[in-house]
Structure 1
């Protein structure tokens, strides 16, 4: 992909962004260690702590001033890496700006732990947040589920799972360039496009690792691939944000279309010239600031 397709304020950061081959076990291991060593975000008015309760592990963001809402958040990493610290700033600043209590899930990674390991871990965090909600000053009916990239896919799958199980439902789904459809990885013609940050070769590895079968296979486990669900009726309102040069653009737009067709209230936010992960690569860009402001505005209404 030509760098000229990237929005001008993002180009330098995107050009300098390192490319890592997560298909190599040593690279995956090193990248996980690097994320764990990231410094803690220091945002006045927000207390950050690590929580382990039974089978649930999460990073908790408690703002001093709270508005009664909560967010179960799932970080990205292609299903094979990452960690809550990589979105520390995003979570802490969102907690402060909106007064929302955030639980950022820790989950097991593929290929060592294929589906449903990560889904089960996120489900455990959802359960603990419901249990703890009132003690944090949060209404259980005002808890949104959200995630970024692979975490957005896990979040969308969790929303579907909770819907089918019944009980208290999420107030919304906050999906930041979510990884929703393994069939994208099966499209070999996309390999030649050379998407920045996350390309289709990496996508194929990530989906293959979590599914344990080739991407695009006729049968995949329920809830593993949100875009494969036939009936989207009754799911909670959604905000879906993605750049128009992101590998996930088409699948995200299509999921938004299908949600709307099923009667779900959807806000689709497409950022021109924005590649995958742009907000983390150039966090101080006006494009990033505007994108996050729109995302937080939607979340603040839950």
Structure 2
């Protein structure tokens, strides 16, 4: 039985009609997708005065983790330390790189003078288990330890990610809380991939047929990173929805669309943060499918989502003071 679905926003639906959608995701299709060249970062940086630097840091198992550092040109001469956005890209944990969806945090570089650091974590199925989130955590540690060198304020480090990157951002934030380092000022989880169980109503609604990200694609992504790991052995750092305790987290921003797989797990995560006494701002955009504002930033609902995220971040970075 096919479940009824919320309607896609009409403007997004018209734009989506011209996009070829994947009917499935498997090992062969993934290999083909990975052959497509990503959008050159130079294209995204056109018209921006940005200094670039790449560093490669070691992981505990000896692998090398690339980090891309983007900062407003001339920021090194400023006497004021900048906020930092630590960016974790999406791609179902099986694709993408440190430049994926980076136009989103580049808006915050423009608006707030933020230093953006994007991590190139290893991907499944070549990397499995906690490897992906461990890579992201090691990159965050490096950023905090090199705050002076990077010209960033260690009290204003924002961890942010989209889709799989949103789930990894949630996992990294749980790690930082449990290990008491580094300090994270806030987390921004953009339609995050939080729950490997893949059994919510919204997951079942978006099952079958082609799509941007369906229940079956989600299952492939999770199977790729978890392998044969039994449900009872899945760490909450990989699947943050499993965390028993969501207290003590930094202030959190979560958004999703009504017309996507992750809607219900994202709403539930925000609800559980509130239940634990934490602060979370939740937005569920009517008619938004998965990745809507990354794919079609020109749509009105996408512009509203991006603007609202930016306004929230403005309140976090520039809190009002008493007169």
- The TM-score, its normalising length taken from structure 1, stands at 0.91
Please state if 1:225 is matched with 2:229: no
Cα deviation, residue 259, structure 1 = 0.3
Do 1:199 and 1:247's aligned partners in 2 also have CA atoms closer than 8 Å?
A: yes
Cα RMSD over matched residues?
2.4
Matched with 2:227 is: 212
- Verify the 8 A CA contact 1:32 1:83 in the aligned structure 2: no
Deviation at 1:22, TM superposition (A): 6.8
Is residue 270 of structure 2 the alignment partner of residue 265 of structure 1? no
Q: Which moved more, 1:41-50 or 1:159-168?
A: 41-50
Structure 2: 5+ residue stretches without partners: 59-63, 318-323
The number of residue pairs the alignment matches comes to 301
Q: Counterpart of 2:22?
A: 20
Pick aligned residue for 1:34 from 7, 17, 36: 36
Match of 1:200 in 2: 215
Farther off after superposition, 60-69 or 153-162:
60-69
Unaligned runs of 5+ in 1: none
Alpha carbons of structure 1 residues 158 and 106: separation in structure 2 relative to 1, 3 Å: same
- The answer for the alignment partner of 1:291 in structure 2 is 305
Q: Deviations over 1:226-269 (max 9, x none)?
A: 00000111011100011111110000000000001111110001
Instruction: Look up the SS of the partner of 2:116 in the other structure.
Output: strand
Contact map agreement 2:26 2:220 (CA 8 A) in 1: no
More helix, by proportion: 1
1:58 aligned onto 2:67:
yes
1:238 alignment partner in structure 2: 252
Which region of structure 1 is more displaced relative to structure 2, 95-104 or 178-187? 178-187
Q: Any idea what SS the aligned residue of 2:100 has? A: helix
Whichever of the two has the greater Rg, that structure is 2
Contact 1:49-1:61 at 8 Å conserved across structures: yes
Question: Compared with structure 1, are the counterparts of its residues 3 and 270 closer, same or farther at alpha carbon in structure 2 (3 Å cutoff)?
Answer: closer
Q: CA deviation at 1:13?
A: 2.1
Alignment-derived partner of residue 99 in structure 1: 113
Contact 2:252/2:280, CA 8 A, preserved across alignment: yes
Distance 1:11 1:180, change over 3 A: same
Residue number among 48, 55, 58 corresponding to 2:52 in the alignment? 48
Correspondence for 1:150: 164
Distance 2:239 2:101 in 1: 23
Shift of 1:190: 4.2
Task: Tell me the TM-score normalised to structure 2 length.
Answer: 0.85
Rounded to whole Å, the distance in 2 between the matches of 1:36 and 1:139 is 31
Q: C-alpha separation between the residues in 2 aligned to 1:38 and 1:29?
A: 20
- Between the aligned partners of 2:258 and 2:6, the Cα distance in structure 1 is 13
